[in-house]
Amino acid sequence: MKLFITGIGTEIGKTVCSAILVQYFKADYWKPVQSGDLHYTDSDKIENWTDHTFCHPETYRLQLAASPHQSARAENIHIRLHDFQLPATQNSLIVEGAGGLMVPLSDDTFIIDLIEKLKLPAALVVRNYLGCINHTLLSIMALQLRNIMLEYLILNGEFPEDTESVILNSITEETKIIKIPEIKSSDKEHVTAIAKQLTITKL
């Protein structure tokens, strides 16, 4: 099982959701691009929050905490799609993107192009906020236009019934649904507890 974790925006819980799935599937982890926070990267968080996880090295490690294309430009680096190669592993693999689907890697390439290049199905992390329905439906539409399989829709946290029903009406029968409860603390104890109780459903 190989899966690309993306989201409807930034700061919606992709890394903690990735940790839960790493724990659940006993998977390796790979963050292709790390922009900023090199003192405590997403790979570091995954290692701290899960058991016996192998984190493959990032293809790009950038100093500036900004979109990858801006961070790369600050270091006179040009991110190229052909530099990304899936790590070799016999285990399942969770790949975590940066921000949402249209986050730029360069002036003319985006995270969605990386998903397409790697030929991976996607898991879309959704969190409730004003505007999340619009962002979710646009993200699903973008994946459909690229013929990228939406393997999982991940509802991270609590949702009003009306919001959840509209979102679930936008996916096909092929997409599986994961509901992750509001997590009190991002640490190994809580990640492990949620992973043990995780259920995957369909429409």
Active-site residue identified among 31, 119, 179, 202: 31
The binding site comprises: 11-16, 35, 44, 96-99, 181-183
For residue 186, what pLDDT is reported?
Answer: 86
Residue 184's pLDDT is 80
* CATH number, domain containing residue 177: 3.40.50.300
Q: Is 31 a catalytic residue?
A: yes
What's the pLDDT at 185?
83
pLDDT of residue 131: 96
What is the reported pLDDT for 97?
Answer: 97
Annotated binding-site residue numbers for substrate: 35
Q: DSSP state, 186? A: -
What is the domain range of residue 68?
2-201
Total number of domains constituting the chain: 1
**Residues 109, 102: Cα–Cα separation, whole Å:** 9
Q: Tell me the residue type at 114.
A: L
pLDDT tens digits along 36-84: 999 999 999 999 999 978 999 999 999 999 999 999 999 999 999 999 9
pLDDT of amino acid 53: 84
Within the chain, how many helices (H) and strands (E) appear? 7, 10
Pick out the chain residues at pLDDT < 50: none
DSSP, residue by residue, 74-132: HTT----GGG--PPP-SS-EEEEEEEETT-BSSSS-BHHHHHHHHT--EEEEE--STTH
